[in-house]
Structure 1
Amino acid sequence: GVEQLREELKELKSVARPKVIAAIAEARAHGDLRENAEYHAAREQQSFIEGRISDIEYKLSHAQVIDVGKLVQNGKVVFGVTVVLADEDTGEEIRYQIVGEDEADIKHQRISVNSPIAR
């Protein structure tokens, strides 16, 4: 999870931010900013990028990396464990890993520690 955030932050700072700054400069060159849709769209995108950068930097500065292999597994549903859910009617089973909010991805059977199943 932390590595994904670091990669996203690197991408935002080294690619997305310079790209939107260039788009703003180009839109400014077109003249009157009051009715310049390209300028306003680029500024909105810049605001989103800066907000996301701040959000990621905050998360990284407050992140606590947990080694899942060292967690005590006592039969409870807690962060890091893999749970098996069974459909009582069909007997079909599906496995989910309990992960942090930023790592949750239902398509890859990873659900948030804050989801109802994990509680």
Structure 2
Amino acid sequence: MNQYPMTVHGADALRDELHHLKTVKRPQIVEAIAEAREHGDLKENAEYHAAREQQGFCEGRIQDIEGKLSNAQIIDVSKLPNTGKVIFGVTVTLLNIDTDEEVKYQIVGDDESDIKNNRISINSPIARGLIGKEVDSEIEIKTPGGIVEYEIIAVEHI
């Protein structure tokens, strides 16, 4: 059985979603099905079929989250010593050598990645190029626009 790395924040977010699905969404759907049943003939009943479809999505998502959490290897990087090396969960500040622009990324699990919030998947090309490197290292990352050179200027365990 494969274990998937996940940050504490990512695991908490999944637990919150699971709790909401089980305590709020699931009862709402059950109620909607019961209400739709009262409207008579189920073959012609669009509300009933829509509620049943929603129930299928909800139950599928519950199983998906439970599976992810049971296979998660939750890593709290704030409890690990900062050696200046890039590992899963760290926040890395990079300097684009050509443009002098700084960018900051946190390396997270696949389900947690969110480029708008600068959280990149451990399996992304940038993260793969960074893992194992150290502060002050220069790295080359292949991007769709060509090779970009970065210098690692900070590694934070936050």
Superposition TM-score, scaled by structure 2 size = 0.67
TM-superposition CA deviations, 1:89-113 (whole Å, max 9, x none): 4311110010112222222211111
Report how many residues are paired.
Answer: 118
Task: Indicate the residue corresponding to 1:3 in structure 2.
Answer: 12
Measured after TM superposition, the shift of residue 88 of structure 1 is 3.9
Larger proportion of helix? 1
Identity %: 66
Gaps of 5+ in 1: none
Task: Indicate the residue corresponding to 1:57 in structure 2.
Answer: 66
82-91 vs 22-31, which moves further: 82-91
Aligned-pair Cα RMSD in Å: 1.8
Larger proportion of strand? 2
Task: Indicate the residue corresponding to 1:44 in structure 2.
Answer: 53
The runs of at least 4 consecutive aligned structure 1 residues that moved more than 6 Å come to none
Gaps of 5+ in 2: 1-9, 129-158
Superposition TM-score, scaled by structure 1 size = 0.87
**Aligned 1:1-119 pairs, distance under 5 A:** 1-69=10-78, 70=80, 73=83, 75=85, 77-119=86-128
Higher RCO structure (Cα 8 Å, ≥6 apart): 2
